[in-house]
Structure 1
């Protein structure tokens, strides 16, 4: 298994991705009980699956009702969704946190360069106020690894955050401000900045604090408030161990071991071509010990080359990175 994990994080072309995805599918179709039963109910023989397009995707709702596990190793951590009062939470049982560590570290360096060279400021009150957030786990690690004395969290202390940002701007320090959407909007209502070098990364989510906004309106407000040209975004969720990133305009790119496909909303087993709108399916090979083939409750569009945008959601899915209404 360690050899397979090394291969996953060494993927450098589409051919090796497809080969490893089929290998992971065969392993999970045999060893993940929930996925095995799901495939059986579809009448699919795993041995007949020879191409990526034939792999079935497990509906994300199964993470609310079942233990989605391929490994028999002890559980090291349980990531859970924030959920809505009275609704079941998604639970991702993680048997090897080292895989998640490698996934987010390698992806971050791919998109943003050295972690150690970056100051991380986090404005994530709703995530900090509960247990089991995979986003907080990641940000905790990035803050530790940055080794910058100014890296840290800001719960509701916007005055201190403003002073910290101004000081970092004066020193020319590379800085990333990662925040839940409503908290970033709250901040710019009080403070306006002109900090064009700042990377502002919104993780999505109004958490019932504000009305939902379409991406163009939201990003325009944040750009004016922070004095930046673009707003970055992170697309991740409890059920995945990888994230996609957008460096502006809502267009996301995946790390090499993650891929997005689209399904027909009226025929979930049928995949759509590029530039169509459909349900977002995710292949996340970092999910080697749970399930790597997930049918989310998001709507999106995939472009030639593999980048994608998120257009909305089917329902009140517990997901970050998607707080947008369908235009």
Structure 2
């Protein structure tokens, strides 16, 4: 798809790469881009436009990013949310379908450069720090085995951009290639080269289970990182994050400060990371709160009425991602979180009584689509 110079996606790429001179300049630029993206999506994304009109919000009335209508994340399972011709998509991400195998989220990317810029910029800032390259060992399927997985594309992009020649995917034929993994870890110890292990939470659970019968440990070279991309949802067995990270720290002799977790979803284009590696590299006290990149904003909303929650109080996470320029800029997730001075802490999934706000949002969405069909 050909885009004119200074097109909306090119402006977003420039913003993601830019180093704003002040927080005020950053906010002004973010707000302007948000309004322009909303106007574009209002014109080109019919389900989103109908929702906005139901809420009496238009490009003429939206003046601030917090006023942009939030699309309930469930809509990605039920509707085609794209501003471009989906037959010309550069890629399509599908959710795993662990909670609803029949209705999987679909995220259409009309071009990959915006997504790749956001991914690389975030990975460089929050994972790599001062490093240029590191040996990346993946415990998750690659794009060949999992062609429409956002995480598989993420890992392939990380290896291609930041990985040394020794980097490799060690998930093959539906399982972790244990012999190859042990060989790669032995090689790292012999050469004293740090590695970055990356995989979903359940990958590490299976790895620890497979090695539980052995007394052997694999202490990694100094500077190594264990990267948990998340994803316990729908798995047969779960353990707490604290327990998992304690076991990983002991097994690989990696300090807790070098174990990082990421917040990412099929429906969004940008990720948020624990702040521990970022701040550790700057020789500051580290934190495990999620840090929000410059091209993303969040709101924590009261679970009953979707009004802004008091800081420090749990609520539903709303996510505003400039890199979602060709789907929906603002998304109401199903995650409970608490805002902190650094960013936010995830608590868990919305359920039970706490789901009332999400139900209201979905009801409003369905009403807007029904009215649109009758008009």
2:335 to 259, 282, 298: 298
Contact 2:143 2:156 in 1 (8 A): no
SS state at 2:138 partner: strand
2:168 to 129, 132, 152: 152
* Alignment match, 1:163: 183
Cα offset, 1:220, TM superposition: 1.9
Q: Distance in 1 between matches of 2:273 and 2:189?
A: 24
Contact 1:79 1:92 in 2 (8 A): yes
* Alignment match, 2:302: 264
Q: Is residue 238 from structure 1 mapped to residue 263 from structure 2 by the alignment?
A: no
Aligned length: 314
* Alignment match, 1:59: 72
* Alignment match, 1:49: 62
Cα offset, 1:186, TM superposition: 2.5
Q: Distance in 2 between matches of 1:135 and 1:87?
A: 20
CA deviations on 1:43-84 (whole Å, 9 max, x unpaired) are 334422222222221101111111111234821111100103
Residues 229 and 114 (structure 1), Cα distance of their counterparts in 2 relative to 1, 3 Å cut: closer
Equivalent residue runs for 1:11-50 within 5 Å = 12=20, 13-50=26-63
2:203 to 183, 207, 215: 183
* Alignment match, 2:319: 282
Contact 2:35 2:63 in 1 (8 A): yes
Cα offset, 1:226, TM superposition: 1.9
CA deviations on 1:144-174 (whole Å, 9 max, x unpaired) are 2345222111122123212312321332324
2:124 to 71, 85, 109: 109
* Alignment match, 1:212: 238
* Alignment match, 1:322: none
Contact 1:116 1:148 in 2 (8 A): no
Q: Distance in 2 between matches of 1:44 and 1:259?
A: 19
Cα offset, 1:197, TM superposition: 2.5
Contact 1:115 1:145 in 2 (8 A): no
Q: Is residue 137 from structure 1 mapped to residue 153 from structure 2 by the alignment?
A: yes
* Alignment match, 2:291: 253
- Structure 1 residue ranges without an equivalent (≥5): 317-327
* Alignment match, 1:193: 218
Q: Distance in 2 between matches of 1:127 and 1:82?
A: 14
Contact 1:274 1:303 in 2 (8 A): yes
Q: Distance in 1 between matches of 2:329 and 2:73?
A: 11
Q: Is the deviation greater in 275-284 or in 185-194?
A: 185-194
Q: Is residue 311 from structure 1 mapped to residue 347 from structure 2 by the alignment?
A: yes
Q: Distance in 2 between matches of 1:118 and 1:171?
A: 13
Q: Distance in 1 between matches of 2:244 and 2:275?
A: 15
CA deviations on 1:74-122 (whole Å, 9 max, x unpaired) are 2111110010364310000110011111111121112214785111110
TM-score by length of 2: 0.76
Q: Distance in 1 between matches of 2:92 and 2:131?
A: 25
Q: Is the deviation greater in 294-303 or in 45-54?
A: 45-54
SS state at 1:53 partner: helix
Residues 267 and 11 (structure 1), Cα distance of their counterparts in 2 relative to 1, 3 Å cut: farther
Cα offset, 1:125, TM superposition: 4.7
Q: Is residue 224 from structure 1 mapped to residue 260 from structure 2 by the alignment?
A: no
* Alignment match, 2:107: 92
Contact 2:140 2:199 in 1 (8 A): yes
CA deviations on 1:178-210 (whole Å, 9 max, x unpaired) are 011122122234153322522001111236444
Q: Distance in 1 between matches of 2:10 and 2:112?
A: 17
Residues 255 and 106 (structure 1), Cα distance of their counterparts in 2 relative to 1, 3 Å cut: same
Q: Is the deviation greater in 82-91 or in 33-42?
A: 82-91
